[in-house]
Amino acid sequence: MMENGYSLDSETLTMTLHSIGEVKLTIPDNSAETLLNANGPEHEKPGVWVTMNSADKNEIGVCYAYGSFDPQPTNRVQSTLCINWLTSNRDYRRQGWGEYIVLETLRAGKAAGYATCILGTDVTNTPARTLYAKHGFTDTYVSTAYRK
């Protein structure tokens, strides 16, 4: 698609989970391990870094989320966890790991004090959109990027 000499580069759908509720996890393989790392400046809530490794130490998937807040959280945006990056190893797809990683990230985010969560995904990524919708995320807006 061309517009004023620019071609469509990507369309990103932002989805929002308005309330992180109780998170129930079922790990697809009990021999896998979850590594959590919380970090961030003192004025910020910690970021959440979730890494899943198989029993033989192969990386299954990774998720990084971040956010900041006022110590007296009155601003909704300030108590929002943003899932910035989520990926899974192709060899482990369609086995429930992506869902587990999303839920583990939400659980860790809620434990860190986040009330809501946002993320972005490609408009055409139906499997991801379906997964996120299953856990309460709703479409918020679409942003379009062009390139020349």
Q: Looking at the predicted structure, is the pLDDT value of residue 113 above 50?
A: yes
Under the banding of pLDDT at 50, 70 and 90, the label for residue 40 is very low
Domain 2-136 has CATH 3.40.630.30: yes
Query: If 0-12 CB within 10 Å is exposed, 13-18 middle and 19+ buried, where does residue 106 land?
Result: buried
Domain boundaries defined on the chain: 2-136
When comparing pLDDT for 102 and 10, which is higher? 102
pLDDT of residue 9: 62
**pLDDT at residue 26, rounded to an integer:** 59
* The pLDDT of residue 139: 87
Give pLDDT tens digits for 73-109: 555 446 788 888 788 888 878 888 888 888 888 888 8
- Checking if the pLDDT of 50 tops 60, the result is yes
pTM of the model: 0.70
Q: Which residues contact 120 (CB under 8 A, 6 or more apart)?
A: 12, 13, 14, 15, 143
pLDDT surpasses 80 at 11: no
Pick the more confident residue, 43 or 22.
22
> Whose structure tokens read 């479409």?
139
The pair of three-digit structure tokens given for residue 92, joined into one six-digit string:
């482990």
So what's the pLDDT on residue 133?
92
Residue 109 has a pLDDT of: 81
Helix, strand or coil, per DSSP, at residue 139: strand
pLDDT band at 16 (very low <50, low <70, confident <90, very high): confident
Q: Does residue 54 have a pLDDT over 80?
A: no
The pLDDT of residue 41 is above 50: no
